[in-house]
Amino acid sequence: MIDLPIAAAGLLVGFVVGLTGMGGGALMTPLLVLLFKIQPLAAVSSDIVAAMVMKPVGGSVHWRRGSVNTGLVKWLIVGSVPSAFLGVVLLQYAGQGQDVQQYIKVALGIALLIVALGLVLRPLLIRQRLAGDPAQPIVVKKLPTVLIGVAGGLVVGITSVGSGSLMIILLLILYPRLRLAELVGTDLVQAIPLVASAAIGHLLFGDFQLALTASILIGSVPGVFLGAQLSSRASDGFIRPVLIVVLLASGLKLLAVSTWVVGAMIVAVLVPFGVVLAIRHVVRIRADSQIQA
C-alpha cells in the first residue's frame, strides 16, 4: 500500500534535490528512520532503489541544457560504481541483527554531520570559484576525481547519503572554478550509475521494501523534475540554512545526542544566519534610501 505521508515527504525532498543537487539520501533516509520509524537498513535500501529512478529525471534536464562535464562524470564513475557495490557487500558481511542496524544509524549520523559542515563551507568555496579566471578551461585531475568517486560510492552504499550532498562539496573543493549549474548537472548525471550500482547491491543483499520505495517515488519523481526546472541560485540562500538545521538535528538524533544539546546547536547555527540576514537587510535599505535621495 502507498503511504501518503511518505509520498509527501518524497515530494519535498525531490524538489530540494532538483533545485540544489543536494539533500536526497541526506534528507529522505533520516526522515524515514526518525519520523516514520522505519528500520535503518530498510530505509537505506528502499531510498537507494527510489533514487535509482529519481536521479535520471533531474540529470536529463541538465544534460539537455549542456550543463554536464562529461570528463568529470567518466572518472567519478570509475571510482564510485565498484565502491558503492562494495559498501553494500560490507553491510551484508556485517549481518542483519540489531547491532548492524545501530551501526548503520551511527554511520548515517556521522555522514549527515559531515554534509552539514560541507553546507556551511559551501559559500566560501563558491566565492573561491568566483575569484578564479572563468576563461581558463577546467583540467580534470584523474586520480583525485576517482578517489572522490570511491569515497562517495562507499558512503552511499552503506548509508544512502553522499551521491549529491557529500560529492558536491568534494567537487567544489577540487574544482573551485566549476560553474554552479555544471557542478549540479555533473553530480546528478554521475550519480545515475553510482546509485544504480548501490541499488543492485541492496536489491540482492539489503532490506528492500517495494511499498516503501513506491511511496517515495510517487512524490520524489515530480518533485525532482519541478526542482530541476525551477533550479534558481537565488533560492540557495534560503534553502541552505534549512538544510543545515535539518541535517544537523537529524545527525545528532541518530547519534542519540540529548534533545537539549540538539536544540542548543540549532540555535547556534540559526543565530549567525539571522544576524547576517538582518545586516544585509539594513544595508539594502540604506542603499535604496541613498539612491532615492
- The residue whose grid cell reads 546509485 is 195
In whole angstroms, how large is the CA radius of gyration of the chain?
A: 19
pLDDT at 173: 78
Q: Distances from the Cα of 172 to the Cαs of 61, 117, 122, 168, in angstroms?
A: 21, 14, 8, 6
Distance CA 227, CA 258 (A): 34
pLDDT at 78: 95
Annotate 240-293 with three-state secondary structure.
HHHHHHHHHHHHHHHCCCCHHHHHHHHHHHHHHHHHHHHHHHHHHHHHHHHHHC
Confidence of residue 236 (pLDDT cuts 50, 70, 90): low
Distance CA 247, CA 243 (A): 6
Whether residue 285 sits in one domain with residue 251? no
- The total domain count for the chain is 2
Distance CA 126, CA 25 (A): 23
Confidence of residue 277 (pLDDT cuts 50, 70, 90): low
Whether residue 267 sits in one domain with residue 160? no
Distance CA 53, CA 59 (A): 11
Whether residue 124 sits in one domain with residue 106? yes
Whether residue 290 sits in one domain with residue 248? no
Whether residue 179 sits in one domain with residue 280? no
8 Å CB contact between 87 and 201:
yes
Whether residue 275 sits in one domain with residue 164? no
Whether residue 153 sits in one domain with residue 243? yes
pLDDT at 35: 84
Q: Which residues contact 219 (CB under 8 A, 6 or more apart)?
A: 6, 7, 8, 9, 10, 11, 12, 13, 14
Locate 53 and state its grid cell. Answer: 529512478
Annotate 32-48 with three-state secondary structure.
HHHHCCCCHHHHHHHHH
Whether residue 149 sits in one domain with residue 94? yes
Q: Is residue 149 scored above 60 in pLDDT? A: yes
Q: Is residue 233 scored above 50 in pLDDT? A: no
8 Å CB contact between 76 and 149:
yes
Q: Is residue 208 scored above 50 in pLDDT? A: yes
Average pLDDT, the chain: 79
Length of the chain in terms of residues written:
293
Whether residue 282 sits in one domain with residue 179? no
Left if phi > 0, otherwise alpha if psi is -120 to 50, otherwise beta: which for 95?
A: left
Amino acid sitting at position 84: A
DSSP states of 207-219 as a string?
Answer: ---HHHHHHHHHH
> Which residues span the domain enclosing 119?
4-257
Closest CA to 228 of 104, 61, 1, 113: 61
Q: Is residue 174 scored above 60 in pLDDT? A: yes
Q: Which residues contact 264 (CB under 8 A, 6 or more apart)?
A: none
Q: Is residue 232 scored above 60 in pLDDT? A: no
> What is the reported pTM?
0.71
Confidence of residue 124 (pLDDT cuts 50, 70, 90): low
pLDDT at 146: 95
Mean pLDDT of 67-90: 91
Distance CA 194, CA 204 (A): 16
Whether residue 110 sits in one domain with residue 69? yes
Amino acid sitting at position 283: V
Whether residue 229 sits in one domain with residue 146? yes
pLDDT at 163: 66
Q: 15-71, pLDDT tens digit by residue?
A: 877 776 665 677 788 888 888 888 888 888 888 888 888 778 777 877 887 878 899
Confidence of residue 85 (pLDDT cuts 50, 70, 90): very high
Q: 261-276, pLDDT tens digit by residue?
A: 777 777 776 677 667 6
- Dihedral (Cα; 208, 97, 10, 161), 10-degree rounding: -100
Whether residue 224 sits in one domain with residue 193? yes
Q: Is residue 11 scored above 70 in pLDDT? A: yes
Residue 256 vs residue 45, higher pLDDT: 45
pLDDT at 142: 93
- The residue whose grid cell reads 538524533 is 253
Q: What is the rounded end-to-end Cα distance, in angstroms, of the chain?
A: 63
